[in-house]
Amino acid sequence: MSDFRQRALDYHELPKPGKISVELSTSAATVDDLALAYSPGVAEPVREIAADPNAAYRYTAKGNMVAVISNGTAILGLGNLGPLASKPVMEGKALLFKRFAGLDSIDIEVKHRTTEEFINTVASIADTFGGINLEDIKAPECFEIEKELIKRCKVPVFHDDQHGTAIVTAAGMLNALEIQGKDIRDIKVVCLGAGAAAVACMELLIKCGAQREKIYMLDRQGIIHTRRKTLTEHKALFANNTDKRTLEDAMDGADVFVGVSGPDLLPPEALALMAPNPIVFACSNPDPEIKPELAHEVRNDLIMATGRSDYPNQVNNVLCFPFIFRGALDVRASQINDEMKVAAVEAIRSVSKMPVPEEVLKASNSESLSFGKDYIIPKPMDPRLCKTIASAVAKAAIDSGVAQLNELPSDYE
């Protein structure tokens, strides 16, 4: 067994199995404490909440609690391995919520037969939480699930693989284009993958100025084009009126490659076909579409990013979901809308241009980091991310009319 594999297994097993636990937030030492916490005292907040559901924010942990919910149908790039196997990833997301944004989070893995059954299950428990983070649910079901749950739930529902990934990709891409001297309105984009992450990433890049007809999206059958039959609704939005059919056809002269598909799917020969000063976001986890070492061997003019922590330029939704929920929950937003997403993109971009604090250099084993080809996006452990993104998101929620609280928390300024 490789050393890293054993270390990863030990990390999850020891000192006790898993990565999260529940801690008490108040005293439960004496008879008097128990009389307040449980019977008879607990009846008082029960009555308050029965009279006014908003009182749950005052008397329970709801307002600082996010559920991470999956059915395990698209676990990272590992595929459909079922709900239970997704648990380490979902516990991991809960760990990241707590570590980076101080949000309490619990993972819930749902076994279901139909999409409707999944939707009903989540809708039935949604009120317990301040927000719902959907994770690793495959396309095309993820689109209907999110749309229906947004309609049915009073708390924000956010499919992280769609929007968290899109926000971080857009932030990193706008920065990378600036460094490579390319205009988003002119770029030819290849997107390998046509699922949850791909569709949302390309839609957000289009909102940022990319042209739909210059995007070539590929699935397992090659380029999605207008003569293909039986395309799903979301793939059809990207059907390109082209004679190109293969990845190599699409890569010829491309400025940007976004990989949200699977491991080692970008051959070096295809990378060699790209235009000068290309941008390659090989975001599949845990193994990217091309290994950075190999990509740098083929091109010395590229900007290279992956979804992993152990290479420069980690384009990963961890840079978004803890902070976007922090901002949304702090003003009790009823949803996470486009205004809040765009605010998050700009906030992430702004942190990447600030001088990097010593503690971040230390945590990332770097001697220096400054905005450039190997630092297009901040490191997740940058303590400025939380305040910068959360406050931008909370302000956008207030300005766009979806916040129930119309003032930022006092510690934001």
Q: Which sequence positions are flagged as catalytic?
A: 38, 93
Q: Is 289 exposed, middle or buried (0-12, 13-18, 19+ CB in 10 A)?
A: buried
105 forms part of the interface with ligand PYR (CB under 6 A): no
Separation of alpha carbons 265 and 282, rounded Å = 9
Nearer residue to ligand NDP within complex by CB, 105 or 316 = 316
Residue nearest to ligand NDP (CB): 195
Site string for ligand PYR, 323-362 (x = CB under 6 A): ----------------------------------------
The pattern of x and - marking residues 171 through 200 that bind ligand NDP according to CB under 6 A reads: ---------------------xxxxxxx--
266 in contact with ligand NDP (CB under 6 A): no
Contacting ligand NDP within 205-224 (CB under 6 A): 218-220
Dihedral, CA of residue 224, residue 229, residue 232 and residue 236, to nearest 10 = 50
List the one residue from 307, 312, 322, 327 that touches ligand PYR (CB under 6 A).
307
Q: How far does Cα 160 stand from its chain's mean position?
A: 4
Cα first-last separation, the chain: 50
On whether the CB atoms of residues 111 and 64 are closer than 8 A, the answer is no
Q: Is 317 in the site for ligand PYR (CB under 6 A)?
A: yes
| Residue whose pair of structure tokens reads 């190997």 in the numeric block | 374
Does the protein bind Mg ion through residue 161 (CB under 5 A)?
yes
> Which residue has its beta carbon closest to ligand PYR?
285
Element (H, E) at 293: helix 292-298
Name which position in 109, 136, 146, 289 contacts Mg ion (CB under 5 A): 136
Q: Hey, is 105 helix, strand or coil? A: strand
Q: What is the dihedral of CA 23, 27, 31, 35, to 10 degrees?
A: -90
Interface residue with ligand PYR among 107, 109, 161, 289 (CB under 6 A) is 161
Q: Does 81 bind ligand PYR (CB under 6 A)?
A: no
Inter-residue contact 101 to 325 (CB < 8 Å): yes
Q: Which of 104, 107, 109, 136 lies at the binding interface for ligand PYR (CB under 6 A)?
A: 136
| Cα atoms in the 13 Å half-sphere on the side-chain side of 211 | 9
Q: Which of 169, 232, 233, 235 is CA-nearest to residue 201?
A: 169
Closer residue to ligand NDP, CB minimum distance, 119 or 320: 320
Interface residue list for ligand NDP (CB under 6 A): 74, 76-77, 138-139, 161, 165, 192-198, 218-220, 260-262, 265, 283-285, 307, 315-317
Interface residue list for Mg ion (CB under 5 A): 136, 161
Interface residue list for ligand PYR (CB under 6 A): 76, 136, 160-161, 285, 307, 316-317
